[in-house]
Chains A and B, each alone.
Chain A
Amino acid sequence: MGIRVNALMCTGCMACEMACGYHRDDAFALLSACIVTYRTREKKDYFGVLLKEEESLVIARPEGLEVRRIGEAGGGGDSSAKPMLLRESCDLCAGMDTGPMCVQFCPVDAITLEFSN
C-alpha cells in the first residue's frame, strides 16, 4: 500500500503539504511534511511533488515518476530535495481512521492510495 501521485493532474496547490504537516504537528505548519510541492523553478513553470518514503524518495515530475533509493549514489534528488531527507518518512497517516490526509485534501484527486498485491 502506498501513495501515488499523478504529476500531470497536480496543480501545485500545496494542500497535500499542509495536510501532511497537520498530521505531524496537530497544527498548521509546513516544515515537517513528508510530501511537498516541488516549486523552485517558478519562471519555467516546472513543478511536481516530492514524497519521502521509508527507503526512497519519490519524485513526481511532468515527465514521469522517479523513485530514488535513499543512501545510494544520487539518491535524494537535487538541492531542493535535500531538506526532505531530514524529515520523517510517510507513515500513511498511521493512527488516523480516515487514511492519508494528503489523499483526502487533494482538491483535484491527483494523489491516491494504491494497494499492491
Chain B
Amino acid sequence: MEYLSSGKILIVDLASSETREEELEEELISRKIGGAGVTTHLYNLYKSHDPIVVGSGLLTGTLFPASDLSILTAKSPVTGTLCHCPVTLKAGIEFKYCGFDYLVVLGTSAKPVFLWIHDGVADISSAEEAWGKDVWQTTDLWRKDMGDDLIQTLVIGKAGEMRSDLAQVSVNYWGSGDVWGFGRLFGERRLKGIAMRGMGLLEIANPEGFVESSKKLLSAVKTGAWKGKAGLVDILSSIGEKDEADWIAPLVHRNSSSYNVPYAGNTFLYLDEDPSLLKEPQGAEPGLLLTSPYGLLAAKALGLSASDSLRLMRSCCRYGVDPEMVALAAFRDGKKTREEIEGSFGLLERKGDIPWKQPFSPMCPQKPMFADFSVGGDPKQIEKWWLRRQALAYVFGVDPLFAGMSPELTAESMIEAVRIGSGIDISEDALDGLIGELCG
C-alpha cells in the first residue's frame, strides 16, 4: 500500500517478546477495504492465538471530515464474540501516524509489559513500575518517562490487572466504548497498555483532488442539522433524555472534538472547579471528560446527585471499569452511596449482565441524532440503519458518533475519497458484502 497508509502490519508476540513487520498488500485492501474489515481478517488469520488487533481506516487521519477513528478488535471474554471498540479522541490518529496501519498482539507475557509504538519502531517494555497503578497514574507515568505529554495510550487500570469482567481498555485517562471486557483481556495477557506517538506522513495519490473533495464535503456537512449544537447535553436532548441533559448542564466546562470531527461531542465536566472558569485551573484534576452518553443514564438511575454520579464515573475512569456495568452491579447488590460503590469496585461482578450483543459499541446512541436519515419509526429498521452506519464508520475510519448525525457522510463519499486518495476502486457491492459480514 502506497497511499493513505504506512503499508505495514506489526505483529507482536508477547510470549517470545518478538516483533516483526509484514507488508500490507493492496490486494487485501481491495477485498477488506480497511478498519474493521481488515482487523476482522487479521483476527481470523491468527485465530488460534486469540489475538488482540488494532487498526485504522484508509481515511483515518486525513482531511476527510470526522476521520478520527482507529479500532480495537478482539474476542470478548464476556460474550465470546468478535467485537470492535472505537478508539477516538486523538488516539485514533496517533496510531495511524505511528508507522503501522495494523497491530496484531499474540500470546501472553511472563511479566507485565506495555507496547511503545512510535515512528515505525515497536518496543515491548517492562510495565513493572506501572502495574498496580490506576489508569491516570499510568498515562502520567509513561508521558513523563518518555518526556512527551502528547503520547496517547490504550491502557488498563487495576480492574484489568485483576481480570475483572467489568474492566475497560481506557483511552488516555477516559472511559472508552469498551463494553466487552477487553480490559480483562489485556490483564490476562499481562499487557498494561499501548503507548503511541506518531510523526509519520501519509502520501496521497491525488493530493489536490482529495483535498478539494474533502473541502466540498465539509461545506455540505457544516450546514447539517447538528449545526449550533454541541456536547453531550445536546446529544442527550436529541435522543429524548432531556432530564439527563438538564442534570449535567450546570457542571459542563467545555465541549471538544476528537480529531477533525465537526461536532464537539466530548464534554468536560468540572467537579472541583467553577465550570465557568476560562483560564487554567489551579487543581491538576478538576473533573472528567465524557465521550458518550453511555454510562451516564445508568449512573443517574442509581439515584445519586449529578455531582456524586460524575465523581463515581471519574473513579470508574481511574480504576478502568465500565461505568454502566458498575451501576448495574451496584444496584443489584443494594449499594446506595458513592463511597459504598467505590469501595466495592474490586468485588463487583457481571453475574450474567451482558446488555449488549452487537459487534459495535453502544457508546453511539442507537438512533439518529439531530438529522433525519429517513429511517422511519420501525425499531428493526432503526437497528439495521444503526448497524450499517456504524459498520461504514468502522471500515473507513470515520467517527461513529458523527456518523449518527451527519447523513452527508455517505458510503459513496467514502468510496470516492478512497479512490481519489489511494487509487483503489471499491465497488458498492463489495462494500455491502463486507458490511454484511461485519454485522453478522
Pick from B126-134, B278-286, B375-383, B429-437 the stretch touching chain A.
Answer: B278-286
When the two chains form their complex, are residues A39 and B90 in contact, meaning their CB atoms are under 8 A apart? yes
Min Cβ gap B393→A in Å is 17
Indicate whether A5 reaches chain B with its CB closer than 8 angstroms.
Answer: no
What residues on A are CB-neighbors of B289 within 8 Å? 45
A107-B218 contact given A43-B136, A46-B281, CB 8 Å threshold: yes
Indicate whether B63 reaches chain A with its CB closer than 8 angstroms.
Answer: yes
What 1/0 flags go to B246-275 for Cβ under 8 Å of A? 000000011111111110100010100000
What 1/0 flags go to B169-206 for Cβ under 8 Å of A? 00011000000000000000000000000011111100
CB within 8 A of B280: which of A11, A46, A98?
Answer: A46
When the two chains form their complex, are residues A29 and B218 in contact, meaning their CB atoms are under 8 A apart? no
**Cβ-Cβ contact count across A and B, 8 Å cutoff:** 110
In the bound complex, CA of A44 to CA of B270 (Å): 9
When the two chains form their complex, are residues A44 and B149 in contact, meaning their CB atoms are under 8 A apart? no
Residue in A closest to B270 when the chains form the complex, CB atoms: A45
Specify which of A27, A44, A47 lies most central, judged by the most chain B CB atoms within 10 Å of its CB.
Answer: A44
In the bound complex, CA of A15 to CA of B215 (Å): 11
Q: Which of B187-233 contact A (CB under 8 A)?
A: 199-204, 207, 211, 214-215, 218, 221-222, 230
Pick from A18-26, A50-58, A67-75, A84-92 the stretch touching chain B.
Answer: A18-26
In the bound complex, CA of A40 to CA of B281 (Å): 14
Indicate whether B371 reaches chain A with its CB closer than 8 angstroms.
Answer: no
Indicate whether A65 reaches chain B with its CB closer than 8 angstroms.
Answer: no
Indicate whether A114 reaches chain B with its CB closer than 8 angstroms.
Answer: no
What residues on A are CB-neighbors of B261 within 8 Å? 13, 107
When the two chains form their complex, are residues B264 and A108 in contact, meaning their CB atoms are under 8 A apart? yes
What 1/0 flags go to A1-38 for Cβ under 8 Å of B? 00000001001111100110010011111110000000
What residues on B are CB-neighbors of A41 within 8 Å? 280
Indicate whether B397 reaches chain A with its CB closer than 8 angstroms.
Answer: no
Residue in B closest to A63 when the chains form the complex, CB atoms: B279
Specify which of A15, A41, A61, A63 lies most central, judged by the most chain B CB atoms within 10 Å of its CB.
Answer: A15
Interface of B is mostly: loop
When the two chains form their complex, are residues B253 and A19 in contact, meaning their CB atoms are under 8 A apart? no
A14-B281 contact given A22-B63, A107-B221, CB 8 Å threshold: no
Specify which of B172, B199, B257, B270 lies most central, judged by the most chain A CB atoms within 10 Å of its CB.
Answer: B257
In the bound complex, CA of A41 to CA of B173 (Å): 12
CB within 8 A of B278: which of A8, A29, A42?
Answer: A8
What residues on A are CB-neighbors of B215 within 8 Å? 98, 104-105
Indicate whether B55 reaches chain A with its CB closer than 8 angstroms.
Answer: no
**Which range contains the number of A residues in contact with the other chain?**
35 or more
What residues on B are CB-neighbors of A30 within 8 Å? 97, 199
When the two chains form their complex, are residues B286 and A14 in contact, meaning their CB atoms are under 8 A apart? no
What residues on B are CB-neighbors of A28 within 8 Å? 4, 61-63, 201-202, 204
Residue in A closest to B285 when the chains form the complex, CB atoms: A43
Indicate whether B65 reaches chain A with its CB closer than 8 angstroms.
Answer: yes
Residue in B closest to A47 when the chains form the complex, CB atoms: B256
Q: Which of B89-148 contact A (CB under 8 A)?
A: 90, 93, 97, 136
When the two chains form their complex, are residues A45 and B253 in contact, meaning their CB atoms are under 8 A apart? yes
What residues on B are CB-neighbors of A29 within 8 Å? 97, 199-202
When the two chains form their complex, are residues B260 and A40 in contact, meaning their CB atoms are under 8 A apart? no
When the two chains form their complex, are residues A22 and B211 in contact, meaning their CB atoms are under 8 A apart? yes
In the bound complex, CA of A34 to CA of B246 (Å): 40
What 1/0 flags go to A76-117 for Cβ under 8 Å of B? 000010000000000000000010010011011000000000
When the two chains form their complex, are residues B201 and A43 in contact, meaning their CB atoms are under 8 A apart? no
Given contact pairs A13-B259, A14-B259, A29-B202, enumerate 13 new A-B contacts (beta carbons under 8 Å): A8-B278, A13-B260, A14-B260, A26-B207, A28-B4, A43-B284, A44-B280, A45-B254, A45-B256, A46-B281, A62-B254, A104-B215, A107-B257
Q: Can you report 12 residue pairs joining A to B where beta carbons are below 8 Å apart?
A: A12-B257, A13-B258, A13-B261, A26-B207, A30-B97, A30-B199, A42-B149, A42-B173, A43-B284, A43-B286, A62-B279, A98-B215
A residues at B contact (CB < 8 Å): 8, 11-15, 18-19, 22, 25-31, 39-47, 61-63, 80, 98, 101, 104-105, 107-108
The 6 A-B pairs at the shortest CB distance, nearest first, are namely A107-B262, A13-B257, A45-B268, A29-B201, A40-B149, A11-B264
B residues at A contact (CB < 8 Å): 4, 61-63, 65, 90, 93, 97, 136, 149-150, 172-173, 199-204, 207, 211, 214-215, 218, 221-222, 230, 253-262, 264, 268, 270, 278-281, 283-287, 289
